[in-house]
Amino acid sequence: MAAARAFENRVVWITGASSGLGRALALELARQGADVAVSARRVDRLQWLVREIEALGRSAVAIPCDVCDERAIREAVDKLIAYFGRLDVAIANAGFSVVGRIERLDAAAWRRQLDTNVVGLALTARYALPHLRNVRGRLVLLGSVAALLPGPGTGAYAASKAAVRSIGETLSVEHAGSGVTVTTIHPGFVESEIGQVDNEGQFDARRKDTRPSRLMWSAERAARVMAHAIARREREFVFTGHGKVGAFIGRHFPGLTQAIFRRLPRSQRAKPA
- Give the residue numbers marked as catalytic: 157
Nearest residue to 6 via CA among 199, 223, 185? 223
For residue 40, give every residue at least 6 positions away whose Cβ sits within 8 Å of its Cβ, in sequence order, or none.
Answer: 15, 16, 17, 18, 19, 22, 46, 64, 65, 94
Element (H, E) at 156: helix 155-174
Bond before 183 cis per omega within 30 degrees = no
For residue 72, give every residue at least 6 positions away whose Cβ sits within 8 Å of its Cβ, in sequence order, or none.
Answer: 64, 65, 66
Rounded Cα–Cα distance for residues 131 and 104 (Å): 42
Q: How far is CA 144 from the centre of its chain?
A: 8
Nearest residue to 84 via CA among 64, 63, 103? 63
For residue 257, give every residue at least 6 positions away whose Cβ sits within 8 Å of its Cβ, in sequence order, or none.
Answer: 149, 150, 151, 249, 250
Q: Kindly give the residue spans of alpha helices, DSSP state H, lying in 2-69.
A: 20-31, 43-55
Count CB neighbours of 230 within 10 A.
24
The answer to whether residues 154 and 271 touch, using CB atoms and an 8 Å cutoff, is yes
Helix (H/G/I), strand (E/B), else coil: 217: strand
